[in-house]
Structure 1
Amino acid sequence: MTDELKGDVVDTLTLRFTGEDENGVAIHELRAAHVAEVLQGLVGLTSDFDKAGVFSTEGPGSSEVLVRPAQQGSFLIEVVRIVTENWGSMVAVGSAVGIPSLSTVIWWATKSARAEVKDFDYLDNGNVKITWQDESAQEVPAAAWAELNKRDRRRKKQLRQIMAPLSDPQVSELEIASPPESEIEQVADHAPEKYVLTRPDYDAVRPDDEIEETQEVFEVEAQMSAIDFDDPTKWRVKTKDRKRSATVEDQEFLGRVARGLAIRKSDIFRLRIREDATKKNGRTRTVWTVLRVENDRRVAHDNDS
């Protein structure tokens, strides 16, 4: 295949997605939509760092990302980056100052999405030393540091695309590997030859403004108790399998309570509840609102409480 490429192959990496289905059988296929996202994310990430001059010592470069056929017997994506302009001279000059691989760029970008920068220093060798909030440190080229501080939302989207299969509960890991003999691994703090990304990494690159809101209305039997005398709408609701704080909007019920309705701990009411769920950055927050409290009630048996 190399003979057919119009340019010099300068970088390769493999992405291996592993996991098990509900029967414990190792996965051997991925959703086509997820694979498409992986490739889109890789192309976008490569293009941004290429235009920033990260892969070259002579300013913005011109390279292209290709995909080789997967090896039989596993779901393996082999990614090839080729450069079409003066790679030989770029390697000769770059060996002194450091040129990162695509694998290393993904490593840096993922780290920057997971951790906050505590401090940074410009070094005499032209690189930047980044100290993260977890006290770990990385040394990256100045061009990479500049790019890592741009396009945060787009960067997260690119990384999330690369890790898209991890949204499938059957996929547990993404292994990224570069050949140990890669001639461009010249940077002081390049990625390990092989590293693994998991679902927490996927959750960490969810765009900050990616918010999903859903609403559901249901009826359920529950016990109720007031929890805030200063705010009569705040109650504790206990169903058969859940206990939640809730806001009561049933004005007729609240009026009866204000007029002296006695509620015992063992009383069970029929409630109509609206559940508002907000999913942000991989976490879901739910709020209950009691829309209606049925007038009839019964005393709970021992096994109901």
Structure 2
Amino acid sequence: MPDESNGQVVDSLTLRFTGEDENGVALHELRAAHVAEVLQGLVGLTTDFDKAGVFHSDGPAGSEVLVRPAQEGSFVIEVVRYAIENWETAAAVGGTVGAPPLASVIWWATRSARADVKDFDYLDNGNVKIVWQDDTAEEVPVAAWQELQKRKRRRKRHLRQIMAPLADPRVTALDLTPPASEELGEDEIPVPIRLRRADYDAVRPEDDIVEEETIFEAEARMSAIDFDDSTRWRVTAQGRTRSATVEDREFLSRVTRGLPISKDDVFQLRIREDAVTKNGSTRTSWTVLSVDSHRRADRGDDSSQAAPSS
């Protein structure tokens, strides 16, 4: 335990995972691997928002996340955020200038992962009012708003870790209970924030996508022609056959006016190949940028300069 002469507990958070097993028995255990992920995610998310100055206006509070012994319940994890620096002000949780509780930070991060921002406004009190796509609103500190614009992939990974037990079909919800604030009476209990599997699904890591573009010139044959749709041609070139979009408007106009084309005709094409690699699998598509020449198979002459057919 850190020396309290150099710091102080300034925040706490209770995470309660609820659910039932296949026999309808209330949940009382979680997979150890999932619990480890919860703690790793909490540490990562807290560290990022602490560095952003969310917990203290004068800079990082040097937060350290600790775990307390489990209490009776379905499955309860109680964590505390321990401030090493600037803890005198950071301890004013719930005050007008105090730091937001960790539960609120997790909620804002989850909302930003589930919905786009429709509008935002800087308020006179120093906060930012966020209006989400569903027309609900949230008021957050400026530092939190700025952090929500950054490290989105990293934040999703932290949230995914925090909600890892929801991958278990026995677990139906995660309740985040913030500490009691001065605004609540002695007999009032803080209302927990409930996260469900839909929230867990919303922070699924984005697929790694790599896009590449290559332009090449090649002799080709048109193995399929669509007079009505320029995106449904098929082109054979360099030993490969691909569906292709033809963007050469002059050539398409000549085809529309009756340019005769045989499947054995040879075209000199300028082609753009777009390759999209997702999860190790690559899909390619071709776009014919220009048809530079056309050699008819029956006569062997080059008709690239021939007058358009009437």
TM alignment of 1:209-220, pairs within 5 A: 209=207
Conserved 8 A contact 1:18-1:173: yes
User: Match for residue 287 of structure 1?
Assistant: none
Report which of the two structures shows the higher radius of gyration computed on alpha carbons: 2
User: Match for residue 206 of structure 2?
Assistant: 208
In the alignment, structure 1 residue 198 sits paired with structure 2 residue 196: yes
1:179 counterpart SS class: coil
TM, length-normalised to structure 2: 0.61
Conserved 8 A contact 1:56-1:94: no
Conserved 8 A contact 2:53-2:59: yes
Conserved 8 A contact 1:120-1:129: yes
1:129 counterpart SS class: strand
Per-residue Cα deviation, 1:94-117 (whole angstroms, up to 9, x for no partner): 944452010110011111111110
User: Match for residue 232 of structure 2?
Assistant: none
In the alignment, structure 1 residue 38 sits paired with structure 2 residue 38: yes
Identity of aligned residues (%): 71
Report deviation, 1:206. 0.6
Change (3 A) 1:73 1:196: closer
User: Match for residue 141 of structure 2?
Assistant: 141
- 1:199 partner letter: R
Conserved 8 A contact 1:15-1:176: yes
Query: How many pairs were matched up?
Result: 206
TM, length-normalised to structure 1: 0.62
Q: Which runs of 5+ in 2 are unaligned?
A: 185-189, 210-277, 280-310
In the alignment, structure 1 residue 151 sits paired with structure 2 residue 146: no
Q: Which runs of 5+ in 1 are unaligned?
A: 186-191, 212-278, 281-305
Conserved 8 A contact 1:29-1:75: yes
Per-residue Cα deviation, 1:192-212 (whole angstroms, up to 9, x for no partner): 63121110000001122179x
Per-residue Cα deviation, 1:172-216 (whole angstroms, up to 9, x for no partner): 111110122369x9xxxxxx63121110000001122179xxxxx
Per-residue Cα deviation, 1:73-130 (whole angstroms, up to 9, x for no partner): 5311000101012322445699444520101100111111111100111112211111
- 2:197 partner letter: R
- 1:41 partner letter: G
Note the aligned Cα RMSD (angstroms).
2.7
Conserved 8 A contact 2:9-2:91: no
Q: Which has the higher contact order (CA 8 A, sep 6+)?
A: 1
Conserved 8 A contact 1:11-1:182: no
